[in-house]
């Protein structure tokens, strides 16, 4: 793939506001005529829906860690082939809600062997890191409160069975691991203010 566009990802725990921020950022840049696509994982790109259903539906938790990693990576490869790769080749900005950093944290945190597997697979079949990653950070209590006010989705925390504060710390540590591309931003800011900050930083990347 010849990449002439830019690749921006948003990461963080559930309830951080990544989805809203991706949309606000996309709207703002689109209004300026910047060619872009906004997408998400799991399930982004054509044909991704059924893979997302496998990963987030009834069967969540029934697969082994390794199988989950393979499925998330398969989903990512499909996303790369059907949407991210072509858009970057056309010189577009790609704004993606979650990417490999989510796998590194949700599937790999505290499990060095799994983390190595994730990185090796990523290198072998994806081979693309974002140009810039916004880690939307906020206290766990704030995120939990937000999730509980979303109808129907309050069971997910229990279903995931993960230590949310460990996940938050894991996302924050990514900024030390990948200092060139990762920026920690404050997810407790009013959405319009945070959107302004992301817009400014994305602007400096693409200008
Ligand atoms: P997401 O679509 O961001 O959730 P939301 O409904 O809030 O938009 O992601 C669904 C879940 O999948 C989320 O809890 C994080 C998890 N996930 C992983 O565990 N590994 C991954 O690689 C990705 C991309 C997501």
* Best residue for ligand 1 mutational test, from 49, 51, 55 (most atoms within 8 Å of Cβ): 55
* 171 CB within 6 A, ligand 1: no
Q: Read off the pLDDT band of 161 (50, 70, 90).
A: very low
Task: State residue 150's pLDDT score.
Answer: 77
Q: Would you say the CB of residue 159 lies under 6 angstroms from ligand 1?
A: no
Give first-to-last CA distance, the chain, whole Å: 22
All domains of the chain, ordered by start, with CATH?
Answer: 6-206 (3.40.50.300)
Q: Determine whether the shortest distance from the Cβ of 56 to ligand 1 is under 6 A.
A: yes
Ligand 1: nearest atom to the Cα of 103: 22
- The alpha carbon of 49 and the centre of ligand 1 are apart by a number of angstroms equal to 13
Rounded distance from Cα 51 to ligand 1 centre (Å): 12
Average pLDDT on 3-12 reads 95
Whole-number pLDDT of residue 157: 55
Task: Tell me the pTM.
Answer: 0.94
pLDDT tens figures, 71-87: 999 999 999 999 999 99
CA distance 171 to 165: 10
| Per-residue H/E/C for 86-155 | HHHHCCCEEEEECCHHHHHHHHCCCCHHHHHHHHHHHHHHCCCCCCEEEEEECCHHHHHHHHHHCCCCCC
Please report the pLDDT score of residue 145 as a whole number: 85
Query: Which ligand 1 atom is nearest residue 156's CA?
Result: 14
Ligand 1 atom with minimal separation from the 43 CA: 2
């Amino acid at each position: 793939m010849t990449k002439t566009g830019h690749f921006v990802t948003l990461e963080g725990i559930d309830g951080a506001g990544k989805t809203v921020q991706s949309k606000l950022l996309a709207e703002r840049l689109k209004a300026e005529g910047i060619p872009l696509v906004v997408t998400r994982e799991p399930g982004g790109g054509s044909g991704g829906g059924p893979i997302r259903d496998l990963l987030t539906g009834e069967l969540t938790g029934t697969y082994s860690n390794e199988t989950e990693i393979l499925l998330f990576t398969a989903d990512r490869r499909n996303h790369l082939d059907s949407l991210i790769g072509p858009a970057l080749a056309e010189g577009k900005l790609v704004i993606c809600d979650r990417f490999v950093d989510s796998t590194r944290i949700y599937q790999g945190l505290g499990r060095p062997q799994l983390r190595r597997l994730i990185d090796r697979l990523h290198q072998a079949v994806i081979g693309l890191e974002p140009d810039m990653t916004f880690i939307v950070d906020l206290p766990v209590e704030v995120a939990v409160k937000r999730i509980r006010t979303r109808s129907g989705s309050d069971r997910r925390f229990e279903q995931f069975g993960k230590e949310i504060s460990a996940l938050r710390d894991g996302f924050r540590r990514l900024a030390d691991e990948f200092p060139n591309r990762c920026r920690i931003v404050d997810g407790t800011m009013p959405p319009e203010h945070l959107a302004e900050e992301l817009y400014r930083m994305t602007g400096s990347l693409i200008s």
